[in-house]
Chains A and B, each alone.
Chain A
C-alpha cells in the first residue's frame, strides 16, 4: 500500500432520497418534497429548501414552513434500488465502482482520466452519460481519497493532485459528518478542518478516541482506505439470434435445447443452479413473450426445452389456458430466444437423496408427469399444498407440477388439540377436522326450508328463522335434514370491500347418510363441500 491516498473520482447525486422517490414511486421531485425518517426530515427537494425546509426538522415544523410539502417515508431499500441503474451507467464507462452509499459512488480517477483524456473531461463524460441513460442529475468531485472527493463533489470541484489538505483546511468541521464531534470541536474553538488537522495526532486519540483519530486523519487528507470495488454480477443470460425466423414450435424447442445446454455449462462454470428461469422470445415484428418458470429442482436441458415448447405452443395457438382474450398471436417467426436464469443459488444446495423418496421412483414419476404435462399443457398437472385459510377451498393451493410448493396463505392445516404454531396465523373460525373429501370448485346453489315449508333465513345477528328441515339441490327431490350445526360466522377481509365475505357456515346431515358443508352468504344457501 502506498502512502499517498488514492486519487478518487466521486459521483454524487444531490438529494438522492428525493430522486429515488421520484424514480420508484413517481413523486415529482420538482415540487416541494421531503423524505422523513422517524419524524425528522432527512432530505428535501430544491423547492422545499427554498421554502425553508431543512434537514432535521420535525414533520409538523416542515409542513408549517411549506404547507404544500409532499412527505415521503424514508426507505433505504428504495434508495439502493433506484441507484442501481446509475451505478450500471457509470460501469459502462469505467471499471471498479464502489458504492459509497445510495446516491454516491466512487471510482479510482487514474484509469478514466487517462482513457477519457484528462480528469475534467472524464468528469464531464460521466455526468453526461448518467444524465442521458438514467435522466439523473449528478455532480463529480475529484480529490485524493474518498472523503475529500465526497466534499469536492458537493461543489463540483476538481482538487489538483496534492492540493487536498489545503482544500480540506478551509472547510468547517461540520463537513466531517459527525454532529456531536463537530459541536464539541466548535466549543473548543476548533472551527475548520485545518485547525483540527493541526492538533497532534496522539492528543486527538487520547481525547476523542478511535473515531476521533480516524476523523483527524481524514481532516488532514490522509485517507488511505482503498476503494471497496463492487463486483458486477456475472451475466448468466444466454441469447440466440436467428437470421432465418423460426416459425415452427418444434424447431424453436430444438433451438431452445441447444440454448439450454449452453446455459447449463455457464451456470455450472460458476457453480450455480437456478430455481426460476425466464424465457423470452422476440418475433421479427418485435412482439415479445416473456414468462418466468419456477422449478423446485434443477432444470435440466430437456426440461428447459419442454418449457420453451409449452410457452411457444400456448402463444402460437393463441389461447392462454384461461379463456378470455388471451394475448395476440405472433405475426412473424421468432428471431431471438433468450434464457434468463433467476433465483440463482449455489449448486451445493441441491443435494439429491441417497435413497428412498428421491431415488429411481421419483425419476420415473417425474418423467411420467412431465409427459402428461407435454400432452395437456403445463397447467394441467398439479400438486396440492395446504396452507392457512378458513374454508376448505382456501386452504388448498394447486401448484403446477414442478413449481415451488408454496402455500397461498401462511399457516398449516388444523390439528387436534393444537393451537397455532408460533409464527403462523391462527385462522380463527376455520373448521376442525375431519375435512371434507369433496370440495366443490364452484359452490352449488341450494334451498333450505323449515318444517312448515318456509325458507330458512339467518339474520345479521345469526338468529335462525326456524330449524332447517329440508334441503333441495338443483330441482331434485327435497331431502330431509336429520342433523345440523351452526351457524358459524366468518367475516373475512372486511377491510377490502371488493374481497369481503360475510358468511355463516352449517354442517348438515341428510337422512340418506350424506353430510354437507353449507354456507349462507347474502341470503343465499350454497353447498361448499361434501363430506364424501
Chain B
C-alpha cells in the first residue's frame, strides 16, 4: 500500500474521478505495465478492452509464463483484479516475486468444458483475464470473447494460439545466466520478446529484457553449492555483470531492459 502512496499525486490523477461520474468501464483507461515492456505495446500499457496474446515460444517453456506474469505485475500492484484460467501449473511464488498481489489474483485451474462461459463471466468483473487457450477454440468463440472484453473494458490475455489479437507477444529467445557445470545457480535470464499486431502495432518490434532480473538475487552470497564429484574448475567465476538498466527501474526490479526497444 505504502508503495503506491509515495508515487504521488501525478500517478493518482488518472485514477481519481468524481463520484458522480459514470465508471468509464469501456473507457480509455490504460492499465500500467512495467516500464521495460511499454515499448512493446502500442498504448504503452494494457489498454482496457484490448486483447494481448502471448504466444507460446519455441521451444516451449522459454519464458512465456514469466512474460505473462510480468505483464500483469504492474497493473496488479496498482490495484487491478486479475484472474488466471486454465493454468494448473501456475507458479504463485514467481508471481509474488514479480510483484503480483496474490490476494487480488483468482485462479481457475481447471475450467473444463465451461471454459468460454467462465471467461465471459470473468470478463464482466475482473480487469485482466489471463487464460491458457484450450486446443479447440473456434474463431467465432474467440471473436465473441474479444468483443465482450472490448465492451466491458477488461484486458484479455490469451496464452497460446490466438488469432486476431491486438498485439501478440512472443518470447523468441531466452538464455539463463548463473548456472555453470556443477556450480552456481540460476540468477537471471535474458529474454528476447517480439511483438506484432494490428493497427498501431503493425510494425514488428523486438526488445531484450532481464526476466527475472538479478535484482532479486543480488544479495544472496554467490557460493551456494559445489557438487561433490563434479568438475570444479574455476571455483568462483563471476556471473556476467548486470546489464544496462533503464533509469529508475533497477530499484524495483525483477525485470530490466537490456536491448533497444
Contacts and interface: CB of A to CB of B under 8 A. Distances in A.
Interface of A: 356-357, 360-362, 364-369, 371-372, 375-376, 380-386, 392, 395-396, 398, 401, 405, 413, 416-417, 432-441, 461-467, 482-488, 507-509, 512-515, 529-532
A416 B216 contact: yes
A24 B161 CA distance: 60
Contacts of A367: 124-125
Nearest to A512: B59
Contact of B186 (A405, A416, A507): A507
Interface of B: 23, 59-66, 69, 79-81, 83, 88-97, 102-112, 114, 117-118, 121-122, 124-127, 173-176, 179-189, 212, 216-220, 224-225, 227-231
Contacts of A487: 225, 227
A436 B212 CA distance: 10
B183 A485 contact: yes
B102 A376 contact: no
19 contacts: A356-B79, A365-B106, A372-B106, A383-B102, A383-B106, A392-B93, A437-B95, A439-B89, A440-B89, A441-B89, A483-B176, A485-B225, A485-B227, A488-B225, A508-B179, A509-B176, A513-B59, A531-B61, A532-B65
Given A396-B92, A532-B61, A371 B220 contact: no
Given A392-B91, A396-B91, 8 more contacts: A365-B126, A372-B122, A413-B96, A432-B224, A434-B217, A436-B94, A488-B225, A513-B175
A441 B118 CA distance: 22
Contact of A368 (B114, B126, B179, B187): B126
Nearest to A433: B216
A531 B97 CA distance: 13
A376 B113 CA distance: 10
Given A376-B118, A439-B91, A532-B62, A383 B96 contact: no
A514 B174 CA distance: 8
B106 A381 contact: yes
A384 to B, nearest CB: 4
Nearest to B82: A365
Interface centre among A360, A383, A401 (most CB of B within 10 A): A383
Nearest to A359: B79
Complex A-B, nearest 7 residue pairs according to Cβ-Cβ distance, in ascending order: A368-B125, A417-B219, A435-B93, A483-B179, A384-B92, A532-B65, A365-B81
A294 B50 CA distance: 36
A365 B105 CA distance: 10
Nearest to B19: A355
A435 B109 CA distance: 19
Q: What's the dominant secondary structure at chain A's contact region? A: mixed
Given A361-B127, A372-B108, A383-B105, A435 B94 contact: yes
Nearest to A466: B229
Contact of A483 (B60, B95, B181, B220): B181
A398 B62 CA distance: 25
B121 A368 contact: yes
B73 to A, nearest CB: 12
A413 B94 CA distance: 10
Nearest to A513: B174
Contacts of A485: 179-180, 182-185, 224-225, 227
B55 to A, nearest CB: 14
Contacts of A513: 59, 62, 173-176
Nearest to B93: A435
A386 B102 CA distance: 9
Contact of A375 (B89, B96, B102, B121): B121
B89 A416 contact: no
Contacts of A366: 125
A369 B106 CA distance: 8
A398 B183 CA distance: 34
B97 A433 contact: yes
A440 B61 CA distance: 12
A384 B179 contact: no
A396 B187 CA distance: 22
Nearest to A531: B186
Contacts of B81: 361-362, 364-365
B220 A434 contact: no
Contact of B97 (A360, A382, A434, A530): A434
B118 A372 contact: yes
A383 B108 CA distance: 9
B114 A385 contact: no
B241 to A, nearest CB: 18
A438 B89 contact: yes
A432 B185 CA distance: 9
